[in-house]
């Protein structure tokens, strides 16, 4: 995954993504590999340590999400995801204007 991919999926600004990448790299949780097709871009990959941290954190996050959305039907979840997509898209646009 690239920094651009992360920014698009998380709606984080480029500076925020860059800072997070630096912190994760310093902790040796991710590594970089140059994109030989576009030398301005690097691919990011979890290191073995990063994979171990992910293995601990991901189930916690999924349990939290499940608890948070308890009682919502599949239709409700689809609607929620659609509405959240619109809201996040609007927030992203507003962020560009400031």
- Residue pLDDT, tens place only, 67-78: 999 999 999 999
User: Is pLDDT above 70 for 43?
Assistant: yes
Rounded distance between C-alpha atoms, residue 69 and residue 52, angstroms:
27
Render pLDDT for 10-36 as a digit per residue (tens, 0 to 9): 777 888 889 999 999 999 999 999 888
CATH number at residue 25: 1.10.10.10
Residue 8 placed within a domain: yes
pLDDT of residue 98: 64
Name the token pair of 18.
């860059």
Note whether residue 79 is domain-resident.
no
Residue at 80 is within a domain: no
| pLDDT of amino acid 67 | 97
Q: Is residue 38 part of a domain?
A: yes
The per-residue pLDDT for 34 is 86
Number of domains within the chain: 1
Do residues 44 and 32 make contact, with C-beta atoms less than 8 angstroms apart? yes
Round to whole Å and give the CA distance between 14 and 18: 6
């Amino acid at each position: 995954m690239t920094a651009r991919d992360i920014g698009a999926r998380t709606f984080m600004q480029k500076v925020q993504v860059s800072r997070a990448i630096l912190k994760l790299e310093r902790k040796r949780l991710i590594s970089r590999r140059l994109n030989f097709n576009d030398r301005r871009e690097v691919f990011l990959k979890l290191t073995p340590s990063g994979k171990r941290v992910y293995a601990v954190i991901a189930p916690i996050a999924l349990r939290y999400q499940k608890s948070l959305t308890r009682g919502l039907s599949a239709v409700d979840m689809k609607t929620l995801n659609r509405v959240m997509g619109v809201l996040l898209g609007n927030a992203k646009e507003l962020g560009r204007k400031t």
